[in-house]
Amino acid sequence: MKYLDRLKKIVTGFLPGQDKSAVKNEAAFASSVSGLPNVVVLATGGTIAGRQIDGGARYQAGELSVEALLGAVPAVRGMANITSEQVASIGSQDMDETLWFELARRVNELLARKDVDGVIITHGTDTLEETAWFLDLVVSSDKPVVLVGAMRPASAVGADGPANLFDAVVVATSPDSAARGVLVAMNGNVFEARDVTKVSTTAVQAFAAPNFGPLGQLHDGRVFYWRSSGRAAQRKASFALAGLESLPLVGIVYGHADAPLLPVTALVDAQYRGIVYAGVGNGNIHSKVLDALAAAARQGVVVVRSSRVAAGSTMRDVELDDTRHGFVAAGTLNPQKARVLLQLALTRTQNAGEIQQLFDYS
C-alpha cells in the first residue's frame, strides 16, 4: 500500500462518525444524567464539518453531520447531557441574515428553557466573528453561548475540530462563563464576540482579539478566565428581533490609495441606508471619496468610519471632522463588526448622533 493510501486509511479510522452512538440527537434531554449540565449544539457547517477531497488541501466544508462531530469527542458525554440540531450545512461564506435570524431565535428560545444551560454553535471560520457579534447583540440571556470552528477539515491529519469542540463544551458548562456575552472557543483560547477576528487564512492559530486579547485560555479540560469584558457592564446596545423580517441594507467600502467614488455612489444609488468605510489609518478617507460620503450623509445615509488596520480605535474628530460631516466613528469595531451593529442600529434610529452612542456603548 502506498504511503499516502496507508495514511488516509489510518486517518479515516479516526474520522468523526465512527462512534455515532456517542451522542443521540434527541429533542429533549430524555436519557440525561442528573447533575450534569444540559447543552444544545446547533450545527451550521464549516471546516469543522469538512471532508478532504483526494486527501489534499482541497475539501468540502459542511459535509459531516453534527452527530459525527460529537462522535469524535466521546469524552464530552461525561461532561454534559448534549443534544444537537443540524441548523444548516454551509461554508460560512454563505452565511446570511435569514440564517442569523433563525439561529438567534432558536438560541433565545433554548436559553429561555429551564432545562437548557448553554448553547454551542459549530460554524465555519470565515464569518464566525460576524455571527458571534450579531448573536451577542440580540441574545437575551446570561447563559453561555459558544461559537466554535476549525481550520483543518475533520478528515485531515491533526484536525483541530475535536479539540476545539471539546473546549467549547468546557466553556459552555463552566459557571465562570455566565454573563460574558457570546464567546468563541478556538485553539485553546476563549474570546469575546466583540473583539475576536480571523487573522490567518490557514494557520490553526487563526483567531485573535487584536485590541484587548483573549478573555481566557483552556487547559486540560478547564477554562481559566484572566479578565472580564469591560464592555459588558456598560453595554447599551442590545436589540430585539421581534417583528423584524430583515435588516436594513448596509455596505462596506474598502479604502486605499487613489480610491474611486464608484463603490460609494453605487451603494447610494442602490438605496443602501448605511455605509461603513474601511478607511486607511485612523479611518481616513481619500478627499474625493470624502465629498461623496459627506453628500450621502446629507441625504440621510448613515456613514460609519472604521479602519482597514487590524488594531486600534477609529477615533472621532481627529483628522476628519465627523461632527461637521455627520459621520459616526466605529471605535474598536472592525468594518465587518461595524456593519452588523449599524444594521441593527438602523432598525431603531436613522439619527447619526444616536447611532454614535450605540457604537460608543456597545
Classify each residue of 171-185 as buried b or exposed e, where b means 16 or more C-beta atoms within 10 Å of its C-beta.
bbbbebbeebbbbbb
The reply on whether position 126 binds ligand GLU by CB under 6 A is yes
Tell me the sheet residues that pair with 257: none
Check: CB of residue 30 under 8 Å from CB of residue 104.
no
109 φ/ψ angles, rounded to the nearest 5 degrees? -60, -45
* Backbone Cα Rg of the chain: 21
CB proximity list for 181: less than 8 A, separation 6 or greater: 136, 192, 193, 194, 229, 231, 232
Stretch that binds ligand GLU, among 75-83, 119-127, 284-292, 325-333 (CB under 6 A): 119-127
* Position among 37, 149, 326, 331 found at the interface with ligand GLU (CB under 6 A): 149
Catalytic member of 12, 44, 47, 314: 47
Q: Is 161 one of the binding residues for ligand GLU (CB under 6 A)? A: no
Residue 172 Cβ vs ligand GLU, minimum distance, rounded to whole Å: 19
C-alpha cell at 300: 440621510
Measured from the CB atom, the residue of 149 and 162 that comes closer to ligand GLU is 149
Is 61 among the residues that bind ligand GLU (CB under 6 A)?
yes
Least separation in angstroms between CB 17 and ligand GLU: 18
Q: Least distance to ligand GLU from the beta carbon of 201, Å?
A: 9
Which is closer to ligand GLU, CB of 58 or CB of 236?
58
Shorter beta-carbon distance to ligand GLU: residue 152 or 325: 152
CA angle 94, 249, 289 (to 5 degrees): 105
> Which among 32-40, 89-97, 243-251, 256-264 is the span making contact with ligand GLU, rule CB under 6 A?
89-97
Q: Of 38, 47, 174, 189, which lies in the binding site for ligand GLU, with binding defined by CB under 6 A? A: 47
Using CB under 6 A as the binding criterion, the count of chain residues that bind ligand GLU stands at: 11
Nearest residue (CB) to ligand GLU, 103 versus 151:
151
Cβ neighbours of 160 (radius 10 Å)? 22
Alpha carbons 339 and 275: distance in angstroms, whole number: 8
Active-site residue, 47 included: yes
From 124-132, 170-178, 316-324, 326-334, span contacting ligand GLU (CB under 6 A): 124-132
Contacting residue, 16, 17, 91, 283, with ligand GLU by CB under 6 A: 91
Site for ligand GLU (CB under 6 A): which residue of 52, 83, 84, 92? 92
Distances (CA, A) of 71 to 64, 104, 171, 345, 355: 11, 26, 19, 40, 45
73/151 with CB nearer ligand GLU: 151
Comparison of 204 and 295: residue with beta carbon closer to ligand GLU: 204
Burial of 78: CB neighbours in 10 Å, binned 0-12, 13-18, 19+? exposed
Q: How far apart are alpha carbons 153 and 49 in whole angstroms?
A: 7
CB 227 within 8 A of CB 209: no
Q: Which stretch binds ligand GLU (CB under 6 A): 25-33, 87-95, 162-170, 177-185?
A: 87-95
Choosing from 46, 71, 216, 335, the residue that interacts with ligand GLU (CB under 6 A) is 46
Pick the closer one to ligand GLU by CB: 117 or 129. 129
Under rule CB under 6 A, residue 124 binds ligand GLU: yes
- Among all chains, which residue has been given the C-alpha cell 487564512? 201
How many alpha carbons lie under 13 Å from residue 237 in its C-beta half-sphere?
Answer: 26
Which residues are designated catalytic? 47
Contact residues for ligand GLU, defined by CB under 6 A: 46-47, 61, 91-93, 124-126, 149, 151
